[in-house]
Amino acid sequence: MSYWRLQTPIGWLKGESDSDILYALTFCDDKPKVQYENKTNGFTRNLQSYFEGKNTLVDMVSACAEESSFKAKVLKACREIPFGTTQSYSELAEKCGSSGAAQAVGQIMKNNVIPLIIPCHRVIPKNGSLGGFNAGIERKKWLLEHESYYLSLQNR
């Protein structure tokens, strides 16, 4: 297991991974403790590229188990939300065959251990507000604006 950190425009990210599986990704306001290394690996390169607007993180490997549970369906559906767009909690619930389960979707997003890879920042309330985000609403807003900006450049 490797513990690493990465400075981003919206604070530090700390990650836990093996060579090909990302187990955890967390935003933090302060530089992570010493056990987290400034280490370059495939994950840090892809994340840095994302913050530079050169990568949508679509190809990054996640630790999501392939299973048929509602949680697995929601996490998979969240990964399919296109870069630079949003979906509501209720739309995601309906897509997973459980209309009316918007609150359950919200809890799954709240407990997402690999944000950005499973882009829970792209899930918003039906009324169009930003809703919540474990890493802070300002980071969610920044991520959505970042993706929207780079999507507009790609579509020119």
Question: Tens digit of pLDDT for each residue in 83-113?
Answer: 999 999 999 999 999 999 999 999 999 999 9
Bridge partners (DSSP) of residue 2 are: 17
Alpha carbons 150 and 56: distance in angstroms, whole number:
9
Selected residue with higher pLDDT from 97 and 32: 97
Per-residue confidence band for 151, with pLDDT thresholds at 50, 70 and 90: confident
64 has catalytic annotation: no
Residue 39: is its pLDDT beyond 60? yes
Helices (H) and strands (E) in the chain, counts: 5, 6
Alpha carbons 55 and 105: distance in angstroms, whole number:
26
pLDDT for the residue 20: 80
Question: Tens digit of pLDDT for each residue in 6-20?
Answer: 999 999 999 998 878
Task: Report which of 75, 58, 65 is spatially closest to residue 110, judged by C-alpha positions.
Answer: 75
Q: Which of the residues 28, 64, 96, 120 is marked catalytic? A: 120
Alpha carbons 36 and 33: distance in angstroms, whole number:
6
pLDDT for the residue 21: 86
CB 88 within 8 A of CB 78: no
